[in-house]
């Protein structure tokens, strides 16, 4: 993260981190790196692409296993996580559906904090991750609506 992305808010007198509407993020507790994410303040919850979802128990607690995209969107990886809850969440069409929610850590550059992530088949979506406003709340984040990759690298620039 560069200093140019941290600004002082005149109204609140606090630092605000400016991120792009697309960023590469990490979920280190799920061993997922460089996940291309759309930052969508119109969405409430964060969703991660997941297929082949299977339930199991570990140490008497509910867990879930699933497949998702690999680092940089290449390939497919298996992930396992403890189930935090099941919730009714409106999909992109506004239709409520019951989803599994896992609690993990999200990383935007050097910034990191815990969030809840719902699992959904996003095969027909452009981005494997959508970050909703609940994940940004109370973290002094502002989203630039025209710029991307303000705190993460764009893999296409490296070609």
Between CA 102 and CA 86 the distance in angstroms is: 9
Partners of 157 in the β-ladder = none
Percent of the chain exceeding pLDDT 90 equals 75
Nearest to 129 by CA among 9, 44, 39: 39
DSSP letter assigned to residue 70? -
Query: What was the pLDDT predicted at 10?
Result: 55
**Going from the N-terminus, what domains does the chain have, and what CATH number goes with each?**
21-150 (2.40.70.10)
pTM of the model as a whole: 0.88
Centroid of chain to Cα 46: 6
Look at residue 9 and tell me whether its pLDDT is greater than 60. Answer: no
**Averaged pLDDT score across all residues of the chain:** 89
Q: How confident is the model at residue 19 (pLDDT cuts 50, 70, 90)?
A: very high
Between CA 76 and CA 20 the distance in angstroms is: 26
Span 47-103, pLDDT tens digits: 999 999 999 999 999 999 999 998 877 889 999 999 999 999 988 788 899 999 999
């Amino acid at each position: 993260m560069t200093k140019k992305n941290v600004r002082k808010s005149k109204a609140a007198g606090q630092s605000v981190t400016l991120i792009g509407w697309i960023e590469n993020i990490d979920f280190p507790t799920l061993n997922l790196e460089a996940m291309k994410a759309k930052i969508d303040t119109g969405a409430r919850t964060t969703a991660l692409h997941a297929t082949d979802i299977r339930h199991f128990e570990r140490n008497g607690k509910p867990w879930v296993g699933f497949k998702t995209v690999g680092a940089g969107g290449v390939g497919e990886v298996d992930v396992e996580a403890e189930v935090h809850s099941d919730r009714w969440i409106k999909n992109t069409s506004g239709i409520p559906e019951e989803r599994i929610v896992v609690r993990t850590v999200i990383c935007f550059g050097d910034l990191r904090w815990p969030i809840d992530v719902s699992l959904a088949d996003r095969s027909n979506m452009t981005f494997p991750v959508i970050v909703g406003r609940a994940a940004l709340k109370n973290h002094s984040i502002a989203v630039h609506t025209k710029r991307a990759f303000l705190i993460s690298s764009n893999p296409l620039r490296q070609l």
